[in-house]
Amino acid sequence: MSVTLPIFSLPCKTNKDCDIVGQLCCNVNGKMRCQKGVPKPAPKPIHTPLLGFIPRECPTNPVIEILPVKNCTNDTDCWPRICCPDGQHSYCRSTVPEWERDPSGFYPLRSMIPYLQCTPPPPLLFDLFPKPCRTPIDCFPNLCCQEQGKKFCRPPKKSLLALIATVTQRLGRR
């Protein structure tokens, strides 16, 4: 596969040479040039099981974090949470529950998880004034969601107000 050099790419030696144009220094056909690129993500860590047998892994759809945002390098920095990569940095996160391993009896809890999961942030073009938060009370009925090193108010995957309306409607029929 042959990659052609862009007409207006700057020659470079390190990424620092490309900071002025907001790009990365890449090797293209043996020549170092400033290119748009995506930095290599942090490697996925391996976590020791809790109590020696309960597996722990980083969440793909994290639940809200009650504890403050904290940078980390390994799991010992985060106890009882685990250290998970998020972009170029790693932050302490709560582990993913292992519902699939023992589905019996956990259905009520499993059905409540979407009310505690944040929707992903919108594209930057539409997220002009995100509301920062520190506690869940700052955002109610939305959630205080950790996004890399900061927390912002975001709606949950399932609306808590819709749940309350459904429950009160069902109780009203009885």
| Token pair in block for residue 9 | 């790419």
Domain ranges of the chain: 1-38
The span from the CA of 164 to the CA of 160, in Å, is 6
The span from the CA of 115 to the CA of 94, in Å, is 16
Q: For residue 158, what pLDDT is reported?
A: 85
Taking Cα atoms as reference points, which of 76, 78, 86 lies closest to residue 44?
Answer: 86
* Residue 42 CA: distances (Å) to CA of 39, 56, 130: 9, 18, 26
Tell me the residue ranges of DSSP E strands in 54-140: 82-86, 89-93
Q: For residue 153, what pLDDT is reported?
A: 92
Phi, psi (deg, nearest 5) at residue 98: -95, 65
Question: What is the pLDDT tens value at each position of the chain, 174 positions in all?
Answer: 444 555 677 889 988 888 878 888 888 888 888 888 666 666 677 777 777 777 788 887 777 888 888 998 888 888 888 888 887 788 888 886 665 455 555 666 667 778 888 888 888 788 888 999 988 889 888 899 888 788 999 998 888 777 777 778 777 766
Q: For residue 1, what pLDDT is reported?
A: 43
pTM comes to: 0.61
> What b/e sequence results for 8-45 when a residue is b if at least 16 CB atoms lie within 10 Å of its CB, and e otherwise?
ebeebeeeebbeeeebbbbeeeeebbbbeeeeeeeeeb
* Residue 7 CA: distances (Å) to CA of 11, 16, 29, 35, 109: 11, 21, 14, 11, 57
Q: For residue 98, what pLDDT is reported?
A: 62
| Token pair in block for residue 90 | 């790693």
Q: For residue 66, what pLDDT is reported?
A: 83
